[in-house]
Chains A and B, each alone.
Chain A
Amino acid sequence: MINDRKLLLAVKDLKTYFFTEDGIVKAVDGVDFEVYQGETLGIVGESACGKSVTAFSIMRLLDYPGKTVGGEVIFKGESLLKKTEDGMRRIRGKEIAMIFQEPMTALNPVLTVGFQISEALMTHFKIGKKEALKKSIELLKKVGIPIPEQRVNEYPHQLSGGMRQRAMIAMAMSCDPSLLIADEPTTALDVTIQAQILDLMRSLLQEFNGSLIMITHDLGVIAEIADSIAVMYAGKVVEYADKKTIFHSPLHPYTFGLLTSIPRLDVEMKKLNVIPGTVPNPLHFPTGCKFNPRCRFTTNKCREEEPPLIKIEEGHLVRCWNVDKVVKEVKKGLLVGV
């Protein structure tokens, strides 16, 4: 598997800023990762760390005042940032599709489910209305919606939350995209439905060897589905490695903090670990490493100089000056046994 991995998407030093009246908000400021064919990349991070903006930047869906000011997005050998708007439109939906967080608002309330699925099909393939509707019924059946012949003519408000998300998946999968970006697809659903949706996405992707970028703040979801993981903090990727490495031997204090904050059943815990402090205001980031005010291992160097993304070993990148200190902590065995 290691040798015949095919690179599908490479994001290099992506920078997306929002030019607001209060100043420049560096929502995404140095994001690097790679997605291989048939694999799943998990992007983890707390709210407002730039996960969704990264996704929108890849799709080039950001409007003013958001603007991608630097970096590269290479998809199948082509730079997406250099494509024309028309060329980009041909890629959206067909090559790269997206699933949104809230299935309630991501479906248009005044259009039938069938219409919304057919629309994608009719946009990218030369097929008629009837044929598109027939394919929509098949897709709905595939994502496990009962009585699809009837559901296809129903409006979003007639479906339950889980069914709406299934319909969203059917929409996104309608043109067999090679890359699916799922922006917290399970956050708005209850836990049993979450598991079903994750299973569904995994099985659909396996079917045509598609790749997935799973954006979430839920480490449980990531552990379930991801092959490699990019941990984001304050608009930057702070650690990037495969799943096993991230969960067993994290090197960034933030990753370490996240992992130790997971409630455990196997160890007696009086109090849940927390990372002290809050995410800094993006208009007033601290100097040096952006995590330094909340970090246990902060040194003067952290406050003065921002660490670059350091390659520790093949496929393991970390943005931290004090990797050795974290290693010592990890060895104490506080992590969840994954």
Chain B
Amino acid sequence: MNRTLRKLFSNATSLIGIILLILFVVVAIFAPIIAPPLSDDPYQVPRMSWDVNPQPPGSPMSDEIRDIYDFMGKEIKYDIAICGTAEGGYDIFYGLIWGTRTAFKIGIITVLIAAFIGIFIGSISAYFGGWIDEILMRITDIFLSFPFLVAAMVLTTVLGRGLDKVMVALIVFGWMGYARVIRGNILSAKEETYVMAAKALGVNDGKIIWKHLLPNTIFPVLVQASMNIGSMVITAAALSFLGVGAPVGYADWGQMVSFARNWIIGAPGHAGQYWYTVFYPGIFIVLFVLAWNLVGDTLRDILDPRLRGEL
């Protein structure tokens, strides 16, 4: 384990990944300090104006909004849109800071649950084999035959709008990869003598899978999972962009990009006039996914048994 950590920190690319991840974690943890919430629901992005047109970075809060806060007796903790505002006056900076929490939530929860389901189905399938394997793997094949994004979109639409629905959709169509990887690994590991030895000692099947087989086979899944966190966030963002994701005004990067949809090309004669509406959310998503991919890559290099000896 020490060697894993050392390797993780001695490699330049992985170091970049880790630093980026740490930055995101810090942002997520200190979100209430970096961007103090103005309303009771911190995930509701505050509006800096009622203006439909995006406002450039540095624009102050409009007087109408100020009046409302004054009328409600709320303290205005900050009143400048550092990264500008998106369509409808939504503050981009606030959306990005609190969107970091959303991104972690989506990425980690969906991957954890999807990996758990995948590991469960894959290990049972491989360990017991026969018709159990046949049935479970055919179910996996059916799920794999749907295009991921389209399937997730349809399911979210059916379930209704909301982040929890997005996560359900991502989990439902995101566990198959883990099931396949773990199945393949257990199929080869279960032929080892130590499994037979454990059986010969009267250890039950559940314990053999949990204590003997999974510790020997889980590493490729960990690598896959760490890389998948990024892609889950991207898919969630895509769903939000397409309008079936988070509810309007919810602090979510995809939502922020979706606000930019009408302004990406700028105004006639002023190409890129509204660059900030797409640039800031875009850069957050790219860096977040990049961070997980870099870390995942390094994990793979470290845990690859063919490379292990050389480390």
Contacts and interface: CB of A to CB of B under 8 A. Distances in A.
B201 A119 contact: yes
Given A119-B207, A119-B211, A107 B197 contact: yes
B203 interface: yes
Given A111-B212, A119-B207, A119-B211, A106 B202 contact: no
A198 B199 CA distance: 24
Interface residues of A, number: 30
A168 B197 contact: yes
B72 interface: no
Contact of A100 (B130, B193, B203, B216): B193
Given A100-B193, A102-B193, A108 B212 contact: yes
B200 A89 contact: no
Interface string A72-96: 0000000000000000011111100
Contacts of A94: 202
B197 A123 contact: no
A143 to B, nearest CB: 16
A119 B199 CA distance: 11
Contact of A93 (B129, B192, B200, B211): B200
Given A111-B212, A111-B215, A123 B201 contact: yes
Interface in B48-75: none
A55 B132 CA distance: 27
Interface in A101-131: 101-102, 105-111, 116, 119-120, 123-124
Contacts of A64: 129-130
Contact of A105 (B193, B198, B202, B215): B193
Nearest to B195: A108
B10 interface: no
A59 interface: yes
A124 B194 contact: no
Contacts of A97: 200-201
A231 interface: no
Interface string B167-192: 00000000000000000000000001
A229 interface: no
Contacts of A59: 200
B198 A61 contact: no
A109 B216 contact: yes
A177 to B, nearest CB: 10
Interface in A189-241: none
Contacts, number: 69
Nearest to A56: B196
Contacts of A90: 202
Given A110-B215, A119-B207, A124 B202 contact: yes
Contact of A61 (B200, B207, B211, B215): B200
Contacts of B200: 59, 61, 92-93, 97-98
Q: Of residues B202, B203, B204, B207, which shows the largest number of chain A Cβ atoms within 10 Å of its Cβ?
A: B202
A172 B216 CA distance: 22
B7 to A, nearest CB: 19
Contact of B196 (A100, A109, A119, A171): A100
Contacts of A123: 201-204, 207
A108 B196 contact: no
Contacts of B194: 105-109
A111 B129 contact: no
Contacts of B199: 61, 92
A107 B216 CA distance: 12
A92 B203 CA distance: 8
Contacts of B216: 108-110
Given A100-B196, A119-B211, 17 more contacts: A59-B200, A64-B130, A89-B202, A92-B199, A92-B201, A92-B202, A93-B203, A98-B200, A105-B192, A105-B193, A107-B194, A111-B215, A119-B201, A120-B201, A120-B203, A123-B202, A124-B202
3 A-B pairs with least C-beta separation: A93-B202, A93-B201, A92-B202
Interface of A: 59, 61, 63-64, 89-94, 97-98, 100-102, 105-111, 116, 119-120, 123-124, 168, 171-172
13 contacts: A61-B199, A61-B200, A64-B130, A89-B202, A93-B201, A94-B202, A98-B200, A102-B193, A105-B192, A109-B194, A111-B212, A120-B202, A124-B202
